Structure 1
Amino acid sequence: MRRNKEAKQKKPDPRNYSDFEVRTDLAVEEQERFPGDGGEISGVSLRKWRESHSDIRMTEVKILDEHGAGIMGKPVGTYLTLEADVLAKKDESYHEEVSAELAGYLRTLIRQMTGKRETKLNILAVGLGNQDVTPDALGPKVLSHLQMTRHLQAEYGNEFCKKHNLPVLSGIAPGVMAQTGMETAEILKGIIQETKPDLLIVVDALAARSIRRLGTTIQLTDTGIHPGSGVGNHRKSLTRESLGIPVLAVGVPTVVGAAAIVYDTVDAMTGTLEKNRATCGLGTYVEGLDPEEQYLLIRELLAPEFGNLYVTPPDIDERIRSLSYTISEAIHEAVFPEDKE
């Protein structure tokens, strides 16, 4: 009896927002939680547009101050989100049009963050994740496709890259803590101390709230990255503050929480319940809960059977393979001089 009483006392309080946070790494999804179009959030600016020559949709969320950061739960900075449904479809050219658009935004962010042209930079590319777990393998896969140039300095002299107008590009896939026993931040600090890059480009798999964004959304941000935060596995952040150099993060959502999927269907479910005379009372009850209480209810119902379950698309192998080429080609086009203005 006493054990049951203690268990009841430990149940999450619906008024405690941290208990029922629907996790996401995407700033665009945080913005969508607010009424209207999300542009009315104090300390946050929002801009949306569609590329005229394609079906690519762009969203720019800028968190302007600490007030906006507190509301959004993300650091001050710029978050660019590219959405393209074609990314979910097989394409022998690995979506060249998306790579080209992505390269342009990467180039713009690089110049804003460093104040230099990309060919003048010493860049360290980092592929985060576990290459043995497919939904988490995006970073290492992207890294495996990149054309490194830093070794050419050792072979042909320090002026070789400058003479040929090439960036000094090196890369590392540091694995995960369970494999190395070290925090990624610890590994990168050592590499940065030895190689002295001007910029980090970090590629990682993310978690989303909406299943429709899995593999079809790419987020760029100048705020760095917080490995594992989207699935509640917090690791030390990779940011300018922690590493001493600018960190440009490229991320693609590859998993979504099971509770979040059910949460997305609440409106449809309550509508159906209301139409049925036998369940209309239940529909009214669920509809009367605020969004946080709805999510907490769903999570408590799912927990005994599924625990903290995350879901990924059935074709995730093909999506990771295709996306890794799309992103690596975008990085190549952004930092190498060929075919640029």
Structure 2
Amino acid sequence: MLDNYGIRTDLALEATERFTEENVEVRGVEIHEDYNEEKDIRTTVVKITTENGARTMGRPQGSYITIEAPGLSVHDEDYHREISLEIARHLQNVINLERELSILVVGLGNSAITADSLGPHVVENLHITRHMIREYGLQSLGKEKMHRISGIIPGVMAQTGMETSEIIQGIVAETKPDIVIAIDALAARSTRRLNRTIQITDTGINPGSGVGNHRVGLTEENLQVKVIGIGVPTVVDAATIVHDSMAHLLEALEEAEQKEFLEEMISPHLHTMFVTPKDVDETVKYLSFTISEGLNMAFEEIGG
């Protein structure tokens, strides 16, 4: 029913929940879940393995790792360090970090808009090494092996007049990284996942898709280099709020009555509105530290 009203989500996990609720098994989609009770961290891996699965899910084939951690919305340094370790561990599974790599980290989003500033803040907190290695060599850093990390905050089209993909394509052509990691703010279907969920995927990322701004994707197909996408949902479609608020009432209605009610309540203008928690400025700030520390931990593994 929700799909008929264009309610958006960038989380593959939420896309699978619709089929689970309807007891429908999707061929070509594998789901594995793990829950760490002590740390209160739930990790779900959704693997889309066939074209049929991709069409049904509305997402490209690949792996989508979702880390759900209620404590992410609380400023607890010890807990956030646990999440950073989880991010590092999953990145090491997705990327072969055993050999030295040139890695470009792209901080997507608009740093002037708090709910969209996650990507830029992550890049600001990274340990950038490419220029040091090129200028002074590994010995100056006391390392025998080290990844060459570079970062870019490309801004948004309204600021630059250019597609983000055009900017990144130019940088990739010039600097020739082995892999691109793109960080972005996402949209969620569920309000309980706002600022409490991290998605890691090996399928790349589409800047602005969560709020309906369909830009050209940062994908391996477009950039000719492997792209990892990392995101946190910071906004939810306003139409979702209306639907969730009416959920119990809807249960008492027949399907035809539900359709009529939703058409009346969820007017088209709601789909241009997105809601974010009032403390999003503080939350995004320490979430960006958590993700950047996860990246730093993952990249430092080969140092010796």
Q: Taking structure 1 as the reference length, what is the TM-score of the superposition?
A: 0.82
Question: In the alignment, what sits opposite 2:217?
Answer: 237
Contact 1:22 1:295 in 2 (8 A): no
Offset of residue 338 of structure 1:
7.5
Contact 2:48 2:54 in 1 (8 A): yes
The alpha-carbon distance between structure 1 residues 90 and 39, as it changes in their structure 2 partners (threshold 3 A), is farther
Question: In the alignment, what sits opposite 1:318?
Answer: 282
| Larger CA Rg, structure 1 vs 2 | 1
Are residues 1:299 and 2:279 paired?
no
Q: What secondary structure, in the 3-state scheme, does the structure 1 residue paired with 2:162 have? A: coil
Separation of aligned partners in 1, 2:133 and 2:303: 24
Question: In the alignment, what sits opposite 1:47?
Answer: 32
State which of 46, 66, 77 in structure 1 corresponds to 2:51: 66
State which of 97, 100, 104 in structure 1 corresponds to 2:89: 104
Q: Write out per-residue CA displacement over residues 292-318 of structure 1, whole angstroms, 9 at most, x where no aligned residue.
A: 776544322x73xx5621000010011
Contact 1:143 1:171 in 2 (8 A): yes
- Superposed, 1:15-94 pairs within 5 Å as 20-36=5-21, 40-93=25-78
Letter in 2 for 1:102: I
Separation of aligned partners in 2, 1:288 and 1:18: 14
Letter in 2 for 1:262: V
Letter in 2 for 1:147: H
Offset of residue 270 of structure 1:
3.4
Offset of residue 159 of structure 1:
7.9
Contact 2:144 2:303 in 1 (8 A): no
Offset of residue 335 of structure 1:
1.1
Contact 1:87 1:216 in 2 (8 A): yes
The alpha-carbon distance between structure 1 residues 288 and 133, as it changes in their structure 2 partners (threshold 3 A), is same
State which of 250, 274, 279 in structure 2 corresponds to 1:270: 250
State which of 160, 168, 185 in structure 1 corresponds to 2:165: 185
Separation of aligned partners in 2, 1:166 and 1:338: 6
Question: In the alignment, what sits opposite 1:124?
Answer: 104
Offset of residue 155 of structure 1:
1.5
Contact 2:250 2:258 in 1 (8 A): no
The alpha-carbon distance between structure 1 residues 294 and 80, as it changes in their structure 2 partners (threshold 3 A), is farther
Contact 1:259 1:295 in 2 (8 A): no
Offset of residue 231 of structure 1:
1.2
Contact 1:125 1:201 in 2 (8 A): yes
What percentage of residue pairs aligned between the two structures are identical? 48
State which of 278, 299, 303 in structure 2 corresponds to 1:335: 299
State which of 183, 197, 206 in structure 2 corresponds to 1:203: 183
Q: Write out per-residue CA displacement over residues 13-52 of structure 1, whole angstroms, 9 at most, x where no aligned residue.
A: x9xx976221110000000111458782111111111125
Letter in 2 for 1:72: M
Q: What secondary structure, in the 3-state scheme, does the structure 2 residue paired with 1:74 have? A: coil
User: What number of residue pairs does the alignment pair up?
Assistant: 304
Contact 2:29 2:48 in 1 (8 A): yes
State which of 86, 91, 95 in structure 1 corresponds to 2:80: 95
The alpha-carbon distance between structure 1 residues 258 and 74, as it changes in their structure 2 partners (threshold 3 A), is same
Separation of aligned partners in 2, 1:291 and 1:60: 33
Q: Write out per-residue CA displacement over residues 304-336 of structure 1, whole angstroms, 9 at most, x where no aligned residue.
A: xx5621000010011101100000000011111
Q: Write out per-residue CA displacement over residues 190-227 of structure 1, whole angstroms, 9 at most, x where no aligned residue.
A: 11111100000110000011111000000000000011
Letter in 1 for 2:265: I
Offset of residue 101 of structure 1:
1.2
Question: In the alignment, what sits opposite 1:153?
Answer: 133
Unaligned ranges ≥5, structure 2: none
Are residues 1:216 and 2:196 paired?
yes
Higher relative contact order (CA 8 A, sep 6+): 2
The alpha-carbon distance between structure 1 residues 91 and 298, as it changes in their structure 2 partners (threshold 3 A), is same
Separation of aligned partners in 1, 2:24 and 2:68: 19
Contact 2:115 2:284 in 1 (8 A): yes
> Comparing 137-146 with 101-110, which one deviates more in the overlay?
101-110
> Comparing 243-252 with 287-296, which one deviates more in the overlay?
287-296
Q: What secondary structure, in the 3-state scheme, does the structure 2 residue paired with 1:95 have? A: helix
Offset of residue 163 of structure 1:
5.2
Q: Write out per-residue CA displacement over residues 55-112 of structure 1, whole angstroms, 9 at most, x where no aligned residue.
A: 000111111111011111000000000000001112245711111111100111112x
Q: Taking structure 2 as the reference length, what is the TM-score of the superposition?
A: 0.92
Contact 1:128 1:202 in 2 (8 A): yes
Contact 2:30 2:48 in 1 (8 A): yes
Separation of aligned partners in 2, 1:334 and 1:35: 33
Contact 2:146 2:302 in 1 (8 A): no
